[in-house]
Amino acid sequence: MFNYVIRRLLYSVPILLGVIALTFLLFNVLQTPEAAAAMAIGSKAPQQAREAWIKSRGLDRPKTEQFVKHVKNLATFQFGTSWKTGRELNEVFRQGAGPSLLITLPGFLAGLLGGVGLALYQVYVRKSLLDRSITLFAVALMSVPTVVYIFFLQAVGALMLNYFPASGFDWRGWETAKFVALPIIVMAIVNLGSDVRLYRTIFMEEINQDYVRTALAKGLSSGVVLGKHVLKNGLIALITLTVATLPRLIMGSLLIENFFGIPGLGNLLVMAIGTSDQPVVLACTYLGSLLYIGGLILTDVCYALADPRIRLS
């Protein structure tokens, strides 16, 4: 397995170089330094100020030299400073990772446990009125846009109950839970409907297998068969669906963080796109690519751990 992981890491180098080259082409070749300066300091800034800004950031240097320096900085995780705030991006990312994980990780775990639990219960009461009712509930959840959940919870939790803040974030020990409670609820239910429908399909395929009939014939209860056999044999599909979401957990949820005013990485990226803060966008794209590749490798490793019949080669 160790050799396999090393090979996958080596295979990932060309992919990362391709991502870096593509983003560099979009921001540093197709976009002129004058246009970048106009977006950063304003189109009404004096020509001398724009020229000084371009020179201070090395945008007047040859493109090849800029690209080599860009690759070197990303490889050593030296992301530079923000064009808008002047803050070091390494510090900004460290500060933003905490709020993002505080929302996405509990929301992801709650959504996963809720989706798997409801899907298993549907299989347990399959073809019944309760099964159809849960399916209808899941379809209803799928039909509601994320912003509707956000506005509804803000209206109920913040305006009507006046208990949760509508937006904002602050580290206050246990009081911090008030700031992240509503975003966690949205994070948990936004994909719950589709997850329940998908997990039910996976478990329904397993429930019709011969090993399930054999286990039931030996006298095992339906609950034991579902929890011990069906869930275990459905792990491959669950791993594929869940591990691939790890980059989103770390990078944060763009929409949720932005609407709730959470100073996480997702909100940082949204603001950077809106203000044309090029270093932030490039750094977030690079980190997202790294996390996605790491998620794919972790998925393959989890396959082997979940099913001993799988061999990585």
User: Cα separations (Å) of 108 from 32, 41, 115, 264?
Assistant: 41, 39, 10, 16
The string of pLDDT tens digits covering residues 106-148 is 998 898 899 999 999 998 888 899 999 999 999 999 998 888 9
Asked if 189 and 112 touch (Cβ cutoff 8 Å), the reply is: no
Task: Delimit the CATH 1.10.3720.10 region(s) of the chain.
Answer: 90-306
Domain 90-306 part of CATH 1.10.3470.10: no
The string of pLDDT tens digits covering residues 57-110 is 888 888 899 899 989 999 888 888 888 888 898 888 888 888 888 898 899 889
Asked if 291 and 246 touch (Cβ cutoff 8 Å), the reply is: yes
Asked if 193 and 142 touch (Cβ cutoff 8 Å), the reply is: yes
The string of pLDDT tens digits covering residues 3-23 is 777 887 888 888 889 989 998
Q: How many CB atoms lie within 10 A of CB 185?
A: 19
pLDDT score for 311: 61
Asked if 306 and 291 touch (Cβ cutoff 8 Å), the reply is: no
Does 312 score more than 60 pLDDT?
Answer: no
What is the three-class DSSP state of 253?
Answer: coil
What string of DSSP letters covers 7-37?
HHHHHHHHHHHHHHHHHHIIIIISS-HHHHH
Q: Which two tokens stand for residue 243?
A: 């591990």
